[in-house]
Amino acid sequence: MTHQKNDPLTVIILAAGKGTRMKSPLPKVLHPVAGRPMLERVIRAVKAAAATEVRVVVGHGQNLVRTIVEPLGAKCFVQEQQLGTADAVKAAKVESDKDGDILILNGDHPLIHEDDIKEFRKTFREGRLDLAVITSVLKDPGEFGRIVRQNKILRAIVEAKDASADTLKINEVNTGIYLMKASVLESLLPKIKNENAKGEFYLTELIGLATEGRLKVDAISASSRVAAGVNSQKELAKATRAIFRRNVEAAMDRGVVVIDPKTVYIEDEVEIGSGSVIYPNCFLRGKTKIGSFCVVESNVFISDSIVEDSVQVKAGSYIERTLIHARASLGPYARMRPETVIGEEAHVGNFVEFKKVQFGRRSKAGHLTYLGDAEVGNDVNVGCGTITCNYAPDRKKYKTVIGDRVFVGSDTQFIAPIQIGEDAIIGSGSTVTKDVPAGALAVARGRQIIKENYAAKVGLSGVDPKDQNQADKTIKTEKAENVD
């Protein structure tokens, strides 16, 4: 049977293993690589490469694995016992596939890319192959199975534990990825025996069986990156670094200035406009979008937020699910919590925290302020130490509404629910419990009392100790007067 241009591609992903070397209760394939479970990365890659159907063989932690697999449109098939890779493939109901090609790969190869898969299939078709194994050349082959050739022709795959000293010197290895015609897999899979020390069924036996059957078999060379599986926490960290490095380099190719690429972490879905500058030690995650000509200073964390053009985010700021309009500035050390919107040209200064706040155009909160569940108009000045008291004894959140051009003096408390009209002025140190009309002055603080020569009376200004009793009497008298 010859290859047809539109032959279907069925992908079988092996993800049933426990991953004991990870030393983690989480199934190995669900460990995150640069913010995404490694299995999700594999599924996305094969789907982007136009896979017709994706089947995931599950076992250990299958209920958790399903929560990732099924929303991505892949199907789960259970391997009841861990009896080897060929047994896992059999669990994927390969007998139902009569036409097209089948790609088999592992769920712990997160660095594989859609372009890799497209290239494998192109080479497979151009060579008119029946079966191919994807190989890589490694400086340190370690425990990988070795590719044995005779006169450059692929003859066998020898597992490292079964290899002779000479075979171990071979540095071309089996990546564990196979591409074949569906009909070939259907005919050869039942012939695989478990005549080995572990009594398991291995896919590597396919090569010998196909050769014996005079099928056209070959190895397709791939980057060493494709061979990079994850079996330990160290390998997980290495794979994560590789993804972050790739994303940073892609951003730089689009015109983003990254001062120290080794210390910047950008997840897959993050978008950054050209001309923006990213300082060292920044983490940009989720569906964050940053416009052009922005500056993100050191030690900034931004998650699932939109930052429009020409915004400056100063050092140490933490931003979650926030919309920041153009030409605004934040920080240093500002914290923007979810459902916050910062208006154009607004300024949010150091040690300011917002939660669920609509902050108007050109408004300012310079420092040491907390606003929660609030609407703040345009051109508002919020003084240092201002807070909204939005959480009441009934355990409900209430809203503070501040109109345009309001001046809020320092150390003000707004006891929600409350509304402050436009152009109002709030005196410093006020605890505001009632609505304030537009254009009004509100001052809500205790009356200041001045007692002249008080220091001398309490012995703090050179008063003679023998007069201390008289000073004490004076203090008691004045306290009584204040009560009256």
Catalytic positions? 367
**DSSP per position, 272-324:** E-TT-EE-SS-EEETT-EE-TT-EE-TT-EEES-EE-TT-EE-TT-EEESEEE
Q: How far apart are CA 314 and CA 151, in angstroms?
A: 63
Q: Which residue matches tokens 């199975």?
A: 145
Question: Comparing C-alpha atoms, which of 63, 317, 105, 93 is closest to residue 222?
Answer: 105
DSSP 415: E
At 352, give phi and psi (nearest 5°): -110, 135
Could you give the angle at which helices 38-48 and 62-69 cross, rounded to 10 degrees?
A: 40
Judge contact between 46 and 12, C-beta under 8 A.
no
Q: Which residue matches tokens 């051009």?
A: 405
Cα–Cα distances in angstroms (integers) from residue 462 to residues 199, 229, 394, 452, 471, in the given order: 97, 81, 53, 16, 12
Four-CA torsion 460, 462, 467, 471, nearest 10 degrees? -30
Cα–Cα distances in angstroms (integers) from residue 471 to residues 450, 452, 478, in the given order: 17, 14, 11
Judge contact between 270 and 300, C-beta under 8 A.
no
Q: How far apart are CA 89 and CA 83, in angstroms?
A: 11
CB atoms within 10 A of CB 172: 17
Judge contact between 349 and 334, C-beta under 8 A.
yes
Beta bridge mates, 77: 57
Could you give the angle at which helices 38-48 and 114-126 cross, rounded to 10 degrees?
A: 50
Question: Comparing C-alpha atoms, which of 96, 97, 100, 94 is closest to residue 5?
Answer: 100
Q: How far apart are CA 114 and CA 122, in angstroms?
A: 12
Beta bridge mates, 407: 381, 425
- Which residues, including other chains, have CB under 8 Å from residue 7's CB and lie 6 or more apart? 99, 100, 101
